[in-house]
Amino acid sequence: MIIAPSLLAADFGRFASETTRIEKAGADWLHLDIMDGHFVPNISFGPRVVKTIRPFAKLFFDTHLMCSRPEILLEPFAEAGVDQMNIHVELGEQVTSLIWKIRQLGKKVGLAINPPTAISHIQPYLGQIDSVLIMTVNPGFGGQEFIHETLPKIQQAHAWRREHKLSYRIGVDGGINFATAAECARAGADTFISGTSLFEQRSLKAAIAKMRKIADKNAVANGLDFNHQPLPTGHAGA
């Protein structure tokens, strides 16, 4: 089980020390939400910021590109030292070449899918990716409420993984708190992105430990033992 706090919910005035704090609190990954003001109606931060915080933790940097033109950002983020880049399946015919470019840069590939998009859209790519990122809110802002209608998509991604003997991770992103993490784990998720709910707790360390415990306890039986090779959680280097 991977617990990945989102930097979006951290203190924007102290990203460097927040990065260290997140690592010390026991996180597995750091989730970096990149918003371009076009694919989503909000702007967050870019490669320069990520490059600046990179030396402050050895954590696996998981980048979520909510961007209409991710092709212009792949190289800068690779140079900034991220470990994985998630692009959105809603980009349509560009997806194949984006996956290829991310691989060429030597990075892990994730494919994100928005709540209104049918899960069938990710099926053609499942053999080519390291992670599926099932959006459980409409992307753009932290602190939104979990959309329960996305749960069957987690189950489907999990069923396909077994059926085709694949090993991609199944991530959930948006409105993940202790209760919704349990529901997602029961549906087959193994990677939990969480911003607001983790950071609003008094102790981030205790919150991460609690979420991991809940995820473990509710994990689908045999959900992770079927030819599943978890990704390394540590940073592999820029």
Return d(Cα 78, Cα 232) in angstroms, integer: 17
What binding mask, one character per residue, do residues 37-66 give for ligand DX5 by CB under 6 A, x or -? ---------------------------x--
Return d(Cα 206, Cα 152) in angstroms, integer: 30
Mutual angle of helices 178-187 and 204-218, in 10-degree steps: 30
Q: Which of 62, 83, 130, 173 is catalytic?
A: 173
Which of 22, 19, 14 is CA-nearest to residue 198? 22
Q: Does 195 bind ligand DX5 (CB under 6 A)?
A: yes
Residue number, nearest CB to Zn ion: 64
130 is catalytic: no
Is residue 45 within 8 Å of residue 80, measured between CB atoms? Answer: no
Tell me which residues in 136-165 interact with Zn ion (CB under 5 A): none
Return d(Cα 75, Cα 64) in angstroms, integer: 14
Kindly list the distances between the CA atom of residue 238 and the CA atoms of 46, 51, 105, 107, 214, in Å, as whole numbers in the listed order: 16, 10, 10, 9, 33
156, HSE (Cβ side, Cα atoms, 13 Å): 15
**Parallel/antiparallel/unpaired status of strands 2-5 and 108-113:** unpaired
Instruction: Please report how close the Cβ of residue 237 comes to Zn ion at its closest, in angstroms.
Output: 23
Among 1, 9, 74, 87, binds ligand DX5 (CB under 6 A): 9
What binding mask, one character per residue, do residues 3-42 give for Zn ion by CB under 5 A, x or -? ------------------------------x---------
225 is catalytic: no
Q: Does 140 bind ligand DX5 (CB under 6 A)?
A: yes
Tell me which residues in 105-134 interact with ligand DX5 (CB under 6 A): none
Q: Does 142 bind ligand DX5 (CB under 6 A)?
A: yes
* C-alpha 26, offset from chain centre: 17
Q: Which of 28, 33, 130, 190 is catalytic?
A: 33
Q: Does 64 bind Zn ion (CB under 5 A)?
A: yes
Among 21, 31, 54, 107, binds ligand DX5 (CB under 6 A): 31
E strand residue ranges, 56-160: 60-66, 84-88, 108-113, 131-135
Residues with a catalytic annotation lie at 33, 173
Contacts with Zn ion, residue ranges (CB under 5 A): 33, 64, 173
Contacts with ligand DX5, residue ranges (CB under 6 A): 6, 8-9, 31, 33, 64, 137, 139-144, 173-176, 193-197
